[in-house]
């Protein structure tokens, strides 16, 4: 007992610090979410100071629940996190397996592959939306224009020209538009985070037992079967880690959304919080609590899946 | 079951030649052991037979077919690896069934074969476990089982006992010998341990530096080693080499006759204590390793040659007192000093 209480005593400062770190912001958010609290109001100046007198009960939650943007924000959060996870894991696996073999210049290729991860999210978004996805000046615009020009040329071709005349002109996609801005964000974040997945998978691939693979070759397994039955199970744990870490990070995407469309048609929960927080702290806090709940649902879901992999 | 023939087989990595040119005939049902120090190319040779290494030159034939360009799985060989190389995410059953599933064999037939193999190896109760939950010896059995179910023409073992502890090694060695009796298949076994080679083999192939030094039955190699390398590699402790000058005046006349260019090889177990005047060698000893049934006595001749004598009773006299040792002349091996070849 003596030893244990000493150990507890020694742990106390760290635990208390962590508790303060966690509980104070959470408590304040909870408090704000139950009161009327705005930054400026000419009509009701008493709402500008947080106080129990302004108690609103679940009013903020109801307000957010009925807000037009709320369900879109939840849908978008899940869509973006889910798509990015699937894309980064699939691409990451493919690239990691591809560069796992020895080839000249492997070192340079690896460094180049990792480099997108070092680009700041805001810079990444600016580069993509302006230089690559822009319908006029970006690579996309240039490519579409070039193809249209080529088809145009083919239309004047003696015999087959008639066939090509049936083809419509290609339309470049505007990724700042309401319907497509989420896809732009998914693309740029996938580009940025695939290297992370590659890095984790690559280190894990290097610890793969080569004799197991040889045994499988002797057992008549082809490359796909070896990947499916040996490499993929071997990568179970790193895949779980990549999914966990990325889920945490991508639930709080902000910079990319801001730069691509300023939230036009593509708000996620953090973005919605940001919008509310420009004045209505009460609603922003309520949204924050909703975000915590969503994160927990996803976390429980992931932990189930990941925990199983990590256990065995 | 099948015979196996190597003709002029060579292996090179770039310009480095690992295996020069090997000719070898293995008859149907034979247990052949490749033995040699590390880096002698024995594992490479085995992997070339398995198809895991490309063959740079020559032909490998299994039965009547040249298999150089045949895919490993189609060669009719099965291999047991040093690290067992079991599939860690599959149960023992699935480990053994994997190769058959790849070959698209019907389920009931797979089941039959796996259970038969499990019976042979006594691993029936382990079928639902994963390799993680097995001991080293059990893993080794599963690895052997995985080879058995494929009913290969040739079994290949790549140092299968190196990762086991001493007691288990002896036991598993026996089991492999029994397995060979029972299945009667051709088996090729790679080891660096000459004891394994001696106990298991019908035929031992001693390799050094990518070349065959000698091929023969264990007793042929023990009794008539073709050169100094084989002489010292087979047998434990290794064979002692003496010069003409180490011999005593009273040595048998046929030994006294040998010239300076001859290495005189005498195995430790063939030396015995004798009284002064009958000795072949006289020496002083520095160290006695007492092994119970016999003792290894580390000695030095007056000429400064160090050697080991395996004696039933360790010398009782002091270290400065000369030991008199004799050997029967027909147990002496003579080698040419320059070429190392047997005379």
Q: Do B211 and B317 share a domain, yes or no?
A: no
User: A195-199, A298-302, B175-179: which has the minimum mean pLDDT?
Assistant: A298-302
Cβ B85–A214 below 8 Å, yes or no? yes
- Total count of domains within chain B: 2
B98 contact residues in A (CB cutoff 8 A): 216, 219, 221, 229
Domain boundary among B233, B262, B288: B233
Question: Measuring CA to CA, which residue among B36, B44, B37, B45 is closest to residue B4?
Answer: B45
CB contact under 8 A, B77 and A218: yes
Give me the residue from B81, B103, B146 closest to A211, CB to CB. B81
Picking from B131, B188, B170, the residue whose alpha carbon sits closest to that of residue B4 is B188
pLDDT reported for residue A311:
58
Element (H, E) at B328: none
**What is the arithmetic mean of pLDDT over A52-58?**
85
pLDDT of residue A224: 92
pLDDT tens for residues B282-331? 888 888 999 888 999 999 988 889 999 999 888 888 888 888 898 988 88
Given a contact cutoff of 8 angstroms between Cβ atoms, the answer to whether B154 and B188 are in contact is yes
Contacts of A212 in chain B (CB under 8 A): 85-88
Q: What is the pLDDT of residues A20-40, one digit of tens each?
A: 999 999 999 999 999 988 888
In a domain, B206, yes or no: yes
Residue of B nearest to A228 (CA): B89
The reply to whether B176 and B304 lie within a common domain is: no
The pLDDT, as a whole number, for residue A1 is 55
Contacts with A211 from chain B: Cβ below 8 Å: 81-83, 85
Alpha-carbon Rg for chain A in angstroms: 26
pLDDT-derived band at A310, boundaries 50, 70, 90: low
> Which one of B48, B81, B114, B159 would you mutate to disrupt binding with A, by most A Cβ within 10 Å of its Cβ?
B81
Chain A within 8 Å of B284 (Cβ-Cβ)?
no
Distance in angstroms (rounded) separating the CA atoms of residues A106 and A113 = 10
Q: What is the pTM of this model?
A: 0.79
- List of chain B residues whose C-beta atoms are within 8 Å of the C-beta of residue A216: 87, 98
pLDDT exceeds 80 at position A308: no
> Kind and range of the H or E element at B33?
strand B31-35
Among all residues of chain B, which has the CA nearest to that of A225?
Answer: B102
Task: From residue B53, give the alpha-carbon distance in Å to each of A218, B36, B105, B160, B213.
Answer: 12, 19, 27, 19, 22
Residues of A within 8 A of B43 (CB-CB) are: none
What residues of chain A lie within 8 A of the CB of B71, using their CB? 220
CB nearest B73 (choices: A218, A229, A236): A218
Flag whether B208 is in a domain.
yes
Examine residue B342 and state whether it is found in any structural domain, yes or no: no
Distance to chain A for B119, nearest Cα, Å: 21
Out of B51, B87, B146, closest to residue A230 by CB: B87
Find tokens 């080693």 and name the residue.
B225
**Chain A residues within an 8 Å CB radius of B99:** 218-221
On whether any CB of chain A is under 8 Å from the CB of B105, the answer is no
Q: In this structure, are B163 and B294 located in the same domain?
A: no
- If phi > 0 it is left, if psi is from -120 to 50 it is alpha, else beta; for residue B151 that is left
Q: Look at A220 and B73 and tell me if their CB atoms are within 8 Å.
A: yes
A214 and B81: CB-CB below 8 Å? yes
For A242-299, the pLDDT digits (tens) are 988 898 899 889 999 999 888 888 888 899 898 888 888 999 999 999 999 988 888 8
* Structural domain boundaries, residue B166: 4-233
Whether residue A215 and residue B79 make contact (CB cut-off 8 A), yes or no, is yes
Is B130 domain-assigned?
A: yes
- In the listed set B210, B233, B256, which residue is the last one of a domain according to the structure? B233
Average pLDDT in the A94-120 region?
89
| pLDDT tens by residue, A58-84 | 888 999 899 888 898 899 899 999 999
Classify residue B36 as left (phi > 0), alpha (psi -120 to 50) or beta: left
Work out whether strand B323-326 and strand B281-290 pair parallel, antiparallel, or are unpaired.
Answer: antiparallel
Question: Do A219 and B98 make contact, defined as CB atoms within 8 angstroms?
Answer: yes
CATH number for the domain spanning B318: value is 2.40.50.140
Q: Do B122 and B76 have their domain in common? A: yes
In this structure, the answer to whether residues B140 and B22 fall within a common structural domain is: yes
In a domain, B341, yes or no: no
| Conformational region of residue B14, where left means phi above 0, alpha means psi within -120 to 50, and beta covers everything else | left
**B210 and B246 share one domain:** no
A229/B98 Cβ within 8 A:
yes
Integer Rg of chain B from CA? 24
Whether residue B86 lies within 8 A of chain A, CB to CB, comes out as yes
φ, ψ (nearest 5 deg) of residue A180? -115, -5
**8 A C-beta contact, residue B107 and residue B142:** no
Please indicate if any CB of chain A lies within 8 Å of the CB of B20. Answer: no
**Is B20 a domain residue?**
yes
Identify whether residues B251 and B102 lie together within a single domain: no
**Residues of chain B scoring pLDDT < 50:** none
Of B85, B87, B146, Cβ closest to residue A229: B87
Residues of B in contact with A225 (CB under 8 A): 102
Q: Which H helix or E strand runs over A68?
A: helix A68-98
Query: Is there a contact between A285 and A60 (Cβ–Cβ < 8 Å)?
Result: yes
Instruction: In whole angstroms, give the CA distance from residue A161 to residue A151.
Output: 9
Alpha helices in chain B (DSSP H): 42-50, 92-102, 107-121, 136-149, 166-183, 194-200, 218-223, 228-233, 253-256
Within a domain: B343: no
Mean pLDDT of A147-158: 85
Please indicate if any CB of chain A lies within 8 Å of the CB of B94: no
User: Across the interface, do A219 and B51 touch by the CB < 8 Å criterion?
Assistant: no
- Boundary-marking domain end, from B218, B233, B248: B233
Q: What's the CA gap between A113 and A212, in Å, rounded?
A: 28
- Kindly state whether residue B178 falls inside one of the protein's structural domains: yes
To the nearest whole number, what is the mean pLDDT of chain A? 88
- Residue ranges of domains in chain A, CATH in brackets: 59-120+185-311 (1.10.3720.10)
Question: Is B139 part of the contact surface with chain A (CB cutoff 8 Å)?
Answer: no
Other CB atoms within a 10 A radius of the CB of residue B261 amount to: 13
Based on the fold, state whether residues B248 and B277 are members of the same structural domain: yes
Indicate whether B320 and B190 sit together in one domain. no
Could you give the CA distance from residue A199 to residue A176 in angstroms, rounded to a whole number?
31
B85 has a chain A CB within 8 A of its CB: yes
B13, B55, B58, B40: which is closest to B211 by C-alpha? B40
Residues B141 and B244 in one domain: no
Per-residue pLDDT at A2 = 64
- From A81, A59, A63, A65, select the one nearest A268 (Cα to Cα): A81
Residues of B in contact with A217 (CB under 8 A): 51-52, 72-73
Is B73 in CB contact (< 8 Å) with chain A? yes
Is B160 part of the contact surface with chain A (CB cutoff 8 Å)?
A: no
CA distance A176 to A135: 9
Do residues A111 and A306 make contact, with C-beta atoms less than 8 angstroms apart? Answer: no
Does residue A130 have a cis peptide bond before it, meaning omega lies within 30 degrees of 0? no
Alpha carbon distances (Å) from A45 to A36, A37, A55, A188: 11, 10, 15, 43
Q: What is the pLDDT of residue A43?
A: 87
Mutate to test the interface with A, among B43, B62, B80, B99 (most CBs of A within 10 A): B99
ipTM of the complex: 0.84
Same domain, B86 and B16: yes
CATH number at residue B28: 3.40.50.300
Q: Contacts of residue A237 in chain B, CB cutoff 8 Å? A: none
| Residue A67: Cβ-neighbour burial (10 angstroms; 0-12, 13-18, 19+) | middle
Task: Say whether both B222 and B301 belong to one domain.
Answer: no
Alpha carbon of residue B264 to chain centroid: 25
């Amino acid at each position: 007992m003596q030893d244990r209480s000493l150990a507890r005593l020694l742990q106390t400062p760290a635990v208390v610090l962590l508790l303060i770190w966690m509980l104070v912001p959470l408590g304040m958010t909870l408090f704000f979410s139950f009161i009327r609290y705005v930054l400026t109001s000419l009509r009701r100046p008493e709402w500008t100071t947080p106080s129990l007198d302004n108690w609103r009960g679940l009013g903020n939650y109801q307000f957010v629940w009925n807000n037009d943007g709320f369900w879109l924000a939840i849908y978008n959060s899940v869509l973006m996190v889910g798509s990015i996870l699937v894309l980064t894991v699939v691409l990451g696996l493919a690239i990691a397996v591809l560069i796992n073999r020895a080839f000249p210049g492997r070192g340079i290729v690896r460094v180049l592959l990792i480099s997108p991860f070092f680009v700041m999210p805001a810079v990444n978004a600016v580069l993509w939306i302006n230089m690559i996805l822009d319908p006029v000046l970006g690579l996309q615009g240039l490519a579409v224009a070039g193809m249209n020009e080529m088809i145009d040329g083919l239309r004047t071709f003696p015999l087959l020209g008639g066939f090509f005349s049936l083809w419509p002109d290609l339309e470049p996609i505007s990724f700042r538009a309401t319907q497509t801005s989420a896809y732009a964000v998914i693309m740029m974040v996938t580009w940025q985070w695939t290297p992370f997945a590659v890095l984790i998978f690559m280190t894990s691939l290097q610890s793969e037992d080569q004799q197991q693979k040889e045994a499988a070759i002797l057992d008549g397994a082809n490359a796909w079967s070896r990947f499916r039955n040996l490499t993929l199970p071997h990568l179970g744990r790193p895949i779980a880690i990549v999914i966990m870490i990325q889920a945490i990070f991508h639930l709080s995407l902000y910079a990319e959304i801001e730069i691509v469309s300023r939230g036009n048609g593509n708000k996620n929960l953090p973005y919605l919080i940001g919008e509310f927080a420009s004045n209505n702290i009460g609603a922003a806090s309520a949204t924050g609590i909703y975000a915590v709940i969503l994160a927990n649902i996803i976390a429980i879901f992931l932990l189930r899946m990941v925990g199983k992999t990590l256990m065995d | 079951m099948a015979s196996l023939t190597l003709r002029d087989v060579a292996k090179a990595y770039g310009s480095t030649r690992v295996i020069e040119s090997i000719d070898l005939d293995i008859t149907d049902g034979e247990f052949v052991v490749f033995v040699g120090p590390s880096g002698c190319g024995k594992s490479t040779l085995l992997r070339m037979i398995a198809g895991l290494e490309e063959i740079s030159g020559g032909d490998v034939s299994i039965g009547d077919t040249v298999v150089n360009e045949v895919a490993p799985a189609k060669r009719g060989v099965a291999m047991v690896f040093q690290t067992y190389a079991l599939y860690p995410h599959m149960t023992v059953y699935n480990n053994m069934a994997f190769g058959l599933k790849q070959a698209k064999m019907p389920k009931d037939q797979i089941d039959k074969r796996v259970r038969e193999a499990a019976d042979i190896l006594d691993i029936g109760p382990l079928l639902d476990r994963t390799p993680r939950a097995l001991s080293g010896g059990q893993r080794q059995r599963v690895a052997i089982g995985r080879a058995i179910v494929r009913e290969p023409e040739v079994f290949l073992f790549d140092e299968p006992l190196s990762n086991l502890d001493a007691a288990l090694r002896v036991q598993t060695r026996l089991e492999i010998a029994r397995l060979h009796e029972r299945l009667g298949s051709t088996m090729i076994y790679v080891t660096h341990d000459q004891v394994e080679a001696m106990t298991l083999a019908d035929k031992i192939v001693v390799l050094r530096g990518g070349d065959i030094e000698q091929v023969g039955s264990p007793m042929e190699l023990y009794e008539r080693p073709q050169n100094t390398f084989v002489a010292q590699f087979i047998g434990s402790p290794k064979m002692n080499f003496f010069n003409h000058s180490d011999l005593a005046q009273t040595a048998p006349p046929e030994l006294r006759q040998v010239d300076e260019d001859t290495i005189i090889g005498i195995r430790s177990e063939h030396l015995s204590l004798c009284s002064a005047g009958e000795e072949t060698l006289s020496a002083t000893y520095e160290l006695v390793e007492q092994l119970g049934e016999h003792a290894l006595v580390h000695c030095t001749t007056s000429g400064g040659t160090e050697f080991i004598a395996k004696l039933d009773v360790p010398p009782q006299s002091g270290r400065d007192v000369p030991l008199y040792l004799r050997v029967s002349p027909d147990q002496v091996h003579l080698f040419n000093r320059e070429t190392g070849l047997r005379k």
